[in-house]
Structures are given as structure tokens and as C-alpha cells.
Amino acid sequence: MIKVSYGSKSLESLNRNKNGNSKKQKKDPHQEKMTNMIHSIMGDLESVIRKGIEQQKAGTRNMNEVLESVEGLFGIKAKEESDNTFSIDGTVFTAEELQKAVGVIKGVEGEISAHITESKLLDYINYAHFEIARNVVGKYAKKNLNIQQGELVNKALNSFINKAQEVHDTIIERIFEKTQDKYYGYKVTDTGVNDDLATVTGDKVVASNQDLINRITSLFSTADFSDSAAVSKVIKDFKEMVIPAYKEVTEDTEKLEDKLSYDELSLTKTIKNFMNHASD
């Protein structure tokens, strides 16, 4: 017998159907529909379980990162009280509260650090950044945390700011000497020291007028940064406050305007970023 091929199957095999051995049994449409539905449900369930496991792993990893950050931010390790609560020096946080609080503090401290130059010396704009941070973090704590939690968060921020001030003061004592100038009343005694803090102040970059620093602090301490009109006004007031200081070190109108424009951009960006860090 000659076999005629059709594709990969012989014609004989295609025609062999009398005993029902070669033909497939017809499936019940209802049963097939149910089978497909079960497979679909099982596939969805597997996907949900896999996603849940991945989220759980990510949550554990994120929480571990938070706990590693606590000691650096608060000066003490967090103690796990239960699966979802932790305490810092006796103050209890839920995991969510602690994760958010750590994120706010780290974000704000990062923004502050980004505006302090490598010299670690402080200009008037830096004192504005300090107070914006205190204002934003204080309001965040009041809205989202209890009194004890809020005190701890504000203490952590103030500790960071105080350390920045201490570094500044140490450098002043080491390489600067006092002058009679009203606003930038120090000069560098070590001529090998370079500084890029202010674009118009040359080697006299140290904000020395405590009265002006206090007025800047007061200005930003009560401002409502959620109101765009209030933000514009507080920045305008700051620029008017520092003009006499900048004029002490430059008579160049163009340089003065450049410095004021830089300050406006810096403050606008800082306020926006701080508010983003502290948003719900």
C-alpha cells in the first residue's frame, strides 16, 4: 500500500476513524467554559499572591532601611514593640508613622545640606532655610503625630541644625577674625582658604549680624507656605531685608540683582521641596 503524506501525517492516519481511535472526543462547551474560567481564576490568584509576596518583601526591606536611619536621625535605636509598632526613647510610633517621619526628616535635612557649601560657613540664606524647615516640620508633626512624637521629630531636626551651626562657629574661631563691618563682620585670616558661599561677598562670606538673622528667623517661622501669595510676600520681604547686607560688600548693581535672583529661586525651590517631603 502506498502512503500519501499530508504534512507530517499520512493520509492513512487521517482517514483512520472508524474505531474512534484517531478522532478527538467532542468536549462539552459548558465544561470547557468552566475549565477556562478556573484556569483564569487560578492565574489571577497566582498573580495576586506573587504581588503580595513582592510587596511584603519590599515593605520589610523599606522598614529595615527606616530602622537603620533612626539612630542617625534621633540619636537612639528604635525598639520593636510588636509587629507594627516601634518605640524611640519611650515614644511609640506605628510602622507607618515612623516610616513617614523618617522620610520627612531625611528629606528636609538633605535639602538643607544641599544649600550649605563645602566650606560649611553660613550666609543669611542658610538661616532662612533653617527656619523654613522648622516651620514645615513643626506643622507636619502637629497635623500627623501626637505631642510626644512631634517633640521627638522637632528635636531631631533642631539637633541637625545646631550641629551645622556648631561646625560654622568652629571654623570662624579657627580661621576668621572680627571686623567692624555691620553685616559681614569677619575676614579670613588664612589666605589659603577659598569659599564659594556668596556670589557677591568675596572673602567675607560669614553672616555676622545677629539682629538680621533674628528678623529672618521670625519672618519664616510663621509663614503659611501652602498659600502662594504668602510665599511670594515672605520672599519679597527677605530680599528687602538682605539688600543692605549685600550692599555692604558690593556696589555693582548687576551682581546685587543676580544675588537677589539666586536667593528668590533658592527659597522658592526649598519651600516647594520641603512641602513635598511633608505632604500626606
CA 126 to mean position of chain CA atoms: 18
Q: Where are the beta strands (DSSP E) in 89-214?
A: 91-94, 176-178, 186-188
- The Cα–Cα gap between 104 and 89 comes to 19
**The pLDDT value given to residue 104:** 94
- Amino acid 228: pLDDT: 95
Nearest to 132 by CA among 276, 24, 275: 275
- CB count within 10 Å of CB 189 equals 10
pLDDT (tens digit, 0 to 9) for every residue of the chain, 280 residues total?
433 332 333 333 333 444 445 444 555 665 666 666 655 655 554 444 344 333 333 334 488 888 898 989 999 999 988 878 999 999 999 999 999 999 999 999 999 999 888 888 899 999 999 999 999 999 999 999 999 999 999 999 999 999 999 999 998 888 888 889 999 988 776 555 444 434 334 455 689 999 999 999 999 999 999 999 999 999 999 999 999 999 988 888 998 999 999 999 999 999 999 999 888 5
Strand partners, 9: 6
State the Cα torsion 256-257-263-269 to the nearest 10°.
Answer: -160
The candidate with the shortest Cα–Cα distance to 139, out of 221, 72, 74, 75, is: 221
Asked if 279 contacts 104 with a C-beta cutoff of 8 angstroms, the reply is: no
C-alpha cell at 246: 549685600
Look up residue 106 and give its three cell numbers: 531625611
Strands 186-188 and 176-178 turn out to be antiparallel
Secondary structure letter of residue 156 according to DSSP: H
- Residue 130 confidence (pLDDT): 97
Whether the model clears a pTM of 0.85, i.e. scores above it, the answer is no
Measured CA distances, 102 to 11, 85, 93, 276 (Å) = 75, 14, 11, 14
